[in-house]
Amino acid sequence: MTPTPLGLYLHIPFCRQRCDFCSFYLEIHRESRAEAFVRSLLQEIRLSAQEYPSATRAIQSVYLGGGTPTALATTQLLTILSEIRTHFTLASDCEITVEAHPSTMPWQDLTQLLQAGVTRMSFGAESMEESDLARIGRPGAVHQTIRAVEQARAAGFTDINLDVMYGLPGQSLKGWQRTLAHCLALEPTHLSCYALTVEEDTKLATEIRRGRSSVPDEGLQIDMDKAAQQILSDAGYERYEVSNYAKPGYACRHNLLYWTNGEYLGLGPSGQSYLDGTRFGNVADLAAYNESLAKSRIPIDDRTRLSEEEQLRDAVIFGLRLIQGIPTHHLHQHAANYGLASVTTQLLTDQLIEEEGERSRLSARGRLFADTIAGQLY
Ligand code: SF4
C-alpha cells in the first residue's frame, strides 16, 4: 500500500511590521529574537525526528511559511534546511517552498536557496495597485514584486507563486482585473487568489468599526471571484481549489496535503500537525516555545485524537474545496454519521454542492460560500 503523503511545515513567526488585515501569530523581527528562535527550531527538528517514527518516511513537501521566512538571514534559512535533511528523509523530488515578502527578498541569495534544494518561491504580492497596498498597511511596493519574480526566474526558479487578495478596502472590479493582468504579465506558474476576510482583533476590523475603512460588499466579491475564474482560465490556469490556480503540473503539492487528508508535521510556534490520526499544535507564543525547547520538550499545547468519523468529516469538508471533489459515498456516509442528511440534501437542491459521476464537489456558486458550507457540514 502506498504510504499517506507526508509534508513538513515550518512557521517562521517574523515580519517587519503587521499588515492591517493579518491575524497570524507573528512577532516583529529583531535579530536577537530570530537567533533564539532558530536555535529552538533546530532543536525541535532534532526532537521531532526522534519523537515521531512515522515521520521518518520520505517527505513529499517542505513549506517554510509564516510570517515572513525571508525576514531571517539566508544563512539561517540554509541552516534550517540542512538540519531538516540531516534528521528527515526528503523524497528525491521533494517540493520545497519558501514564502517571501517581495521587499525582504535577498536577490543575491536566491541562487543559494536554489542550490539548497528550494524548488518553489511564493511571493506575497497581495495587489499590483499601490493604492490597494496603502489601504491595507502593507509595506513594500508593486515594483518590488515585479523585481522579485524577475530575479527569482533569473536565478533559475521555474515554479513561482503569487498570492493576491480581492475584496480589499476601496478595491474596484476594474482594479482587481488590472492586478490579475499585471500578475499574468509576470507569468507565474501558480496564483493564489484569496478573498479578504476581516478577522476580529486586526487593525482593519478596528478601522471598519470606526467607519474609517470599508470592504466591498458580497456581490462585488462574487463578481471578483468570477472575473478571476474567467481571466485565469483564459490564460491557461486550472482552478484546482477554491482559492488556487495553477498551470498544468504546478499545483502546490504541500497545500494539496491539507485538502486530501495527507499528513503533515508543523514546527515553529503555532505550527499545526496531523499525524497518525491525531491533530496537535504548538504553543503560539515565541517565549514559551523557546523556553520549552530549551528544556528539550516539544511545545505542544493542544492534542486531539480523531475518531474515524471525525477523520472522514475533515476529509469531506476539505476535499469538497477541490475541483476534483470527493467520492460521493463519503459525503453521504458523513451525513449519516452526523445526522446531516437534510443539510446535505438542501445543499444539493440549492446547487451549492454538485454530484458528477461518483464524485461530489462545491459548485461554482458553492465555492463562493465555501466557509459557510464547511460550517454547515461540521
Ligand atoms: S507579511 Fe504576511 S504574515 Fe506578515 S503581517 Fe503581512 S500578511 Fe501577515
CB-based contacts of 369, cutoff 8 Å, min separation 6: 352
**Domain-located, residue 49:** yes
Phi, psi of 190 (to 5 degrees): -150, 140
Q: Which of 26, 70, 133, 203 has the most ligand 1 atoms within 8 A of CB, as the residue to mutate?
A: 26
The domain that contains 75 carries what CATH number?
Answer: 3.20.20.70
What mean pLDDT comes out for the span 152-181? 97
Lowest mean pLDDT of 8-22, 164-178, 359-373, name the range. Answer: 359-373
**Domain-located, residue 270:** no
Give the model's pLDDT for residue 368.
81
E strands along the chain, which residues? 6-12, 14-15, 27-28, 59-66, 90-100, 120-126, 159-166, 190-195, 238-241, 244-246, 263-267, 272-275, 278-282, 300-305, 326-327, 353-356, 359-362
Shared domain check, 198 and 128 = yes
Shared domain check, 220 and 321 = no
Q: Which of 23, 24, 198 has the most ligand 1 atoms within 8 A of CB, as the residue to mutate?
A: 24
- Nearest alpha carbon to residue 45 among 275, 265, 272: 265
The minimum-distance atom of ligand 1 relative to the CA of 17 is 5
Residue 1 has pLDDT above 70, yes or no: no
Shared domain check, 206 and 107 = yes
Residue 85 has pLDDT above 80, yes or no: yes
Shared domain check, 195 and 61 = yes
Range of the domain at 357: 308-377
β-strand partners of 362: 353
Shared domain check, 317 and 255 = no
Q: Which of 10, 14, 17, 19 has the most ligand 1 atoms within 8 A of CB, as the residue to mutate?
A: 19
Give the model's pLDDT for residue 320.
96
Question: What's the angle, vertex CA 315, arms to CA 312 and CA 317, rounded to 5?
Answer: 105
Query: Is the CB of residue 117 less than 8 Å from the CB of residue 82?
Result: no
The domain that contains 364 carries what CATH number?
Answer: 1.10.10.920
Ligand 1 center–CA 122 separation, angstroms: 13
| Interval 5-31: pLDDT, tens | 999 999 999 999 999 999 989 999 999
Shared domain check, 222 and 76 = yes
Phi, psi of 120 (to 5 degrees): -145, 130
**Domain-located, residue 295:** no
Q: How far apart (Å, rounded) are the C-alpha atoms in residues 303 and 69?
A: 26
CA-CA-CA-CA dihedral for 230, 231, 233, 238, to nearest 10: -110
Identify the H or E element spanning 310: helix 308-319
**Domain-located, residue 57:** yes
Shared domain check, 225 and 79 = yes
**Domain-located, residue 297:** no
Average pLDDT, the chain: 94
Ligand 1 center–CA 307 separation, angstroms: 34
Residue 210 has pLDDT above 80, yes or no: yes
Q: How far apart (Å, rounded) are the C-alpha atoms in residues 33 and 47?
A: 21
Ligand 1 center–CA 19 separation, angstroms: 6
Q: Which of 259, 288, 322 is the last residue of a domain?
A: 259
Shared domain check, 71 and 143 = yes
**Domain-located, residue 161:** yes
Pocket of ligand 1 (CB under 6 A): 15, 18-19, 22, 24, 26, 66-68, 101, 124
Residue 107 has pLDDT above 90, yes or no: no
Number of domains in the chain: 2
Q: Which of 200, 231, 259 is the last residue of a domain?
A: 259
14-15/27-28 β-pairing: parallel
Phi, psi of 362 (to 5 degrees): -65, 140
Say which DSSP state 360 is in: E
Shared domain check, 172 and 27 = yes
Query: Is the CB of residue 81 less than 8 Å from the CB of residue 118?
Result: yes
| Interval 277-318: pLDDT, tens | 999 999 999 999 999 999 999 999 999 999 999 999 999 999
Nearest CA to ligand 1 atom 5: 18
Give the model's pLDDT for residue 188.
98
The minimum-distance atom of ligand 1 relative to the CA of 15 is 4
Assign 130 a pLDDT band (cuts: 50, 70, 90). very high
**Domain-located, residue 285:** no
Assign 345 a pLDDT band (cuts: 50, 70, 90). very high
Q: Which of 220, 243, 259 is the last residue of a domain?
A: 259
Query: Is the CB of residue 179 less than 8 Å from the CB of residue 142?
Result: no
Nearest CA to ligand 1 atom 2: 67
**Domain-located, residue 83:** yes
Residue 105 has pLDDT above 80, yes or no: no
What mean pLDDT comes out for the span 152-174? 96
